[in-house]
Structure formats: C-alpha cells, structure tokens
Amino acid sequence: MKGMVAHLAVSWRLYLRNRMAMAYGYVFPLMFLAVFWVLYRDEAVPLRRHLGELFTVTILGGACFGLPTTLVGEREQGVWRRYRLTPVALGELIASTIAARFGIIVSAGLLQLGVAIAVGMTMPAHPMALAAAFSVATLAFIGLGLLLAMLADTVPAVQALGQCLFLPMLVIGGVAVPIASLPDWAQRLASFFPGRYAVEAMQAATTGNDLSALPLPLAVLAVTGFAAVLAAMKLFRWEHGRSFATLRGKGWLALILAVWVVTGLLAGLRERSAAALAAATAPPVVVADPLSPWKQLTAKDVAGLSFKVPSDYGVVAPFAPEDELPDEALQAQMQQLRDRLPQWEPGRLKVDDLQRVRNLLCVAAVADAAQEPAERYIPGVVLAHLQTIFPKPQLIQMLAWIALHPDDGAVVQDVSALGLTHEVGGPDLVRDRMYFYALKCIIRLTGRLAADPVSPAAAPP
C-alpha cells in the first residue's frame, strides 16, 4: 500500500515533467475538440452531440498510447527490472499505474469539458451518469493499454500496435465517424470494437434521452477491461529483451479474445431479440372491436411498455433529433419524401387504420434496414406525417398496440415510390425495426425523451 501510494505520486510527478506526454495528454484532446467544433458548428448546441466521441478519443489516446508508451519505455530503461529487485508486489505497481493514468485521463476529460462549455455547449443532461460512464470506459481502455504494453516488445511496437487498435475504432468503430453513417458491414463490425460502447454510454448520459441503454455498454466495457487487466498481469514482463515470442502464459490472450467476441455477439443479438421478446410476452387481449382493438389500451398500458430501445445514434433504429439538419443532398431527398408521403398509396389505406400506421412506420423501418444514407432523418418525417393524420392520443394507442403485437399485420418492403430505392433483406428485419420505431415514436409523443434543450419531446414542427 505504501509502495502503491509512493509509486502513484512519482508517476504523476514524472508525467508533469514530461512535455511530450503532456502534449499528448492535453493538447491533442483540445485539438480534437477544435476540429469537432469546426465540423459541427451548424448544430444548435455546439459539441453536445459529439461529447461521447470526443471523450472516447481522449481516453483512447491516454490509455492505449500514453500508458503503454510510458510503461514500455520504463521497461526498456530497466526501471521495472529494478522494481523487481525489491519485495513490492506486482499488484501494487499495477494498481498505481492504473490509478495514475486514470487521474491523467480524467484531468484531460475535465479540461475538454470545460473548454467545450466555454465555447457554448450546455451542461450534460446527467453529469453523474456521464462521470460513471467516463470512469468505466477509462478503466476498460487502461486495461487494454496495459495488455498492449505486454504484447509490444519496444516503444515503436507500442505505436504500431496502438494504431492497429486506435484507427479501426476511430474509422469503423463508431468513434470519430458516427455509426449511422457507416456501411452495413462496418456497423456489424463496430459491435466488436469497445470504442463504440464508450461512445454510446457517454453520449446517452450527455444527451440524456435513453439512460436505460447505459447498463449494456457499461457492462461490456467493464468485462473487457477486467479481462484485459487479468491477461496483462498474467503476461507481465519486468524486463526488456525478452521478446513476446518467448513469453509464457500466452493462453491468457484467449480470454480477452473470447470476451471480445462474446460481447460483440451478445450486443448484436440483444438488438435483434427485443422485438421477438415483446411478441412472446404480449398479454392476451379480448378483442372488442376487431378493426380497432387498440382503442381499449389505456395510459397505464402505454406506461407498462418496455422502452428498452437502441440508442438514437446507434446502428439500429437511429432517430435524428429534430434540430439536426441533414446535408444539402439529403435535404432535397427529405423534401421529396415529405411531398410524396401524403400521396403514397399504402399510407392512404382507408379500412384499417392500424395497418395504415404500420405501413407508414415501414417507411422508416425499411430505410433503416436497407441502410439508406438518410435513415436517421426519415423517422422524423414519418412521425410528423402521422401526426397530421391522427390525433395524438389515438396515435399513441395505435403505436402501443403495434409495439405489443409486432408480429401482427403485414409489412411493406418496397418503398421505392418514395424515392427510397435501397433493397431490404427480408420482412423479419423490417418488423424488428418497425417495433423499435413504434416505441421511439411513443417516447417522443409522450414526452419520455428527457427534458432536453437540444431535442425537445414535442414533435410537430
């Protein structure tokens, strides 16, 4: 314990004396902040919708570059070999290394947050949840950084390996490029990059629309981090000069790989199975009015719905906030959609109101399932159109019925008449997404979206 505290204090002092490390730790995050601020300056509140991405970049830099560079550098100097000559336990030194880096990253995050607020960002919706998400993400990536230090033989190898982890996460892992704008294969792959969960968790806490979505990403991060620290301790190298090839305990790498694959698969499965679960657990109802069974649903029934939906910024069922404007090309497409929607035949169905709502929801669901470039903006247009047809209480009842019976009725798969020409794989996927969009529309209509100055709950423009 004594050794841990002393090592922690020395680590911090040495960090503050190292100008290069300070530049990496504080200047780069601010540069990223500036870039994001320039890129997204047209948004209603600057940076707010990108804080998760910004923080994740900062954490990745400190944990997956700063930490292993320092550790491997010290190992090359023989510092860790010298430590080994003393009775100090490895656990103490690992704990102080983690704690020191945690402090460094938290200070960089606070600096970033402070500057972001100074340039006009509003306070995050749930500061405590954000702090928790930031901490868990930081610890998880510190674990990966430790593991990286054990895999790399030299400092240049750290840089190379770090890039192998960093760049894919930035580009196709949903960190620097929003997941929604990625191609289908990359979106699937993103489930396997922990960066995505860090972004999701911190973004949810910042924008505050669906805190119920927090536990999964946090759990994935915690498990990944724990497995990585464990593997790093088993593979720990005190001395420079023993190459990775001669290292014992490489079997522990299998642990971290297994965790990686399993969490990725589980996260993918979870998003898929929510609709199936809702169908299976729907309460049996006595149908009084065969054409309008939804009329018997009460506000209590609506409140009892499971509002566990994927993030609005995620791969599945994205839903752009109202003030987020698409770029010019997409704006034209949205205008076309707004113009054509009232004339679209399936949307004018006279006999069955429920099916009419389903058909219209399918427009958003198909766009999402088919990876339309404008997928995140379409649900807003559809919801606005629905509100012009039905009074709000009725619409909520119908949407609730659809969410409770996702397997009923028919789905529309061809929406090419609306200018959305991408093809969709099959009706099941559309049903899945229709279910989520039904819930997301209810969330918006009933004001369940937390009071948020950026994305107000009330929908009509």
Partner 1 sequence: MARTLGTPSDFIGVTWQTLPLALRVVLEARLDGIADKTRDCAMSAHVSIRDLSKRYGAVAAVRGVSLTIARGEIFGLLGPNGAGKTTTLECLVGLREPDAGEIFIGGLDLRRQPAAAKEKIGVAPQSPSLPGRITPREALHLFGSFYRQAVGPGPLLTRFDLTAQADRPVETLSGGQRQRLSLALAFVNQPELVVLDEPTSGLDPQARREIRDEIVRMKGAGHTVLLSTHELAEAEQVCDRIAILDHGRVIATGTPRELVAQAKAPQTVTLVTARRLDPTLLARLAAGAAVTLDGDTARWDTTDAAATLAGLAALLAEHHVGLVDLQMRPASLESVFLRLTAARTSPEGPLS
Taking the complex as a whole, the smallest distance from the CB of residue 108 to partner 1 amounts, in Å, to: 20
Alpha-carbon distance of 383 to 459, in angstroms, equals 8
Site residues (CB under 8 A) for partner 1?
2-3, 5-7, 10, 13-14, 17-18, 74, 77-79, 81-89, 238-239
- The CA R_g of the chain, rounded to the nearest whole Å, is 25
> Toward partner 1, which CB reaches closer, 2 or 300?
2
Cβ burial of 12 (10 Å; 0-12, 13-18, 19+) is middle
Nearer Cβ to partner 1, position 6 or 303?
A: 6
Q: Which is nearer to partner 1, 12 or 344 (CB)?
A: 12
DSSP 8-state class, residue 345: G
Instruction: Find the shortest distance in angstroms from Cβ 124 to partner 1.
Output: 36
Quote the distance between the C-alpha of residue 263 and its chain's center. Answer: 14
* Token pair recorded at residue 69: 């560079």
As measured in angstroms, the least distance from the Cβ of 252 to partner 1 is 19
Angstrom distances, CA of residue 420 to CA of 364, 368, 437: 10, 11, 17
How far apart, in whole angstroms, are the C-alpha atoms of residue 56 and residue 263? Answer: 19
Our CB check for partner 1 shows the closer of 6 and 35 to be 6
Provide, rounded to whole angstroms, the least separation between the CB of residue 70 and partner 1: 9
CB atoms within 10 A of CB 163: 13
Identify residue 216 by its one-letter amino acid code. Answer: L
Give me the least distance between CB of 248 and partner 1, in Å please: 11
Nearer to partner 1 among residue 67 and residue 221 (C-beta): 67
SS3 content of the chain, % helix, strand, coil (to 5): 70, 0, 30
The CB-of-263 to partner 1 minimum distance in angstroms stands at: 36
Longest dimension (CA), the chain: 84
Q: How far is the CB of 17 from partner 1 (least distance, A)?
A: 4
Nearest partner of 253 among 151, 137, 160, judged by Cα: 151
443 phi and psi angles, rounded to 5 deg:
-55, -45
Q: Give the residue with the Cβ less far from partner 1, 43 or 76.
A: 76
Residue (16 or 257) nearer to partner 1, CB: 16
Number of other residues whose CB lies within 10 A of the CB of residue 35: 13
Helix (H) or strand (E) holding 37: helix 28-39
The two three-digit tokens of residue 157, written as one number: 């190898």
By beta-carbon proximity to partner 1, the closer residue of 77 and 163 is: 77
Residue among 239, 272, 245 nearest 80 (CA): 239
Task: Identify which of residues 70 and 263 has a Cβ nearer to partner 1 in the complex.
Answer: 70
Give CA–CA dist 242/231, Å, rounded: 18
Least distance from partner 1 to the Cβ atom of residue 261, Å: 34
Q: Which two tokens stand for residue 325?
A: 């404007």
Under a CB-based contact definition with an 8 Å cutoff, are residues 434 and 368 in contact? no
Closest CB 28 distance from partner 1, rounded Å: 21
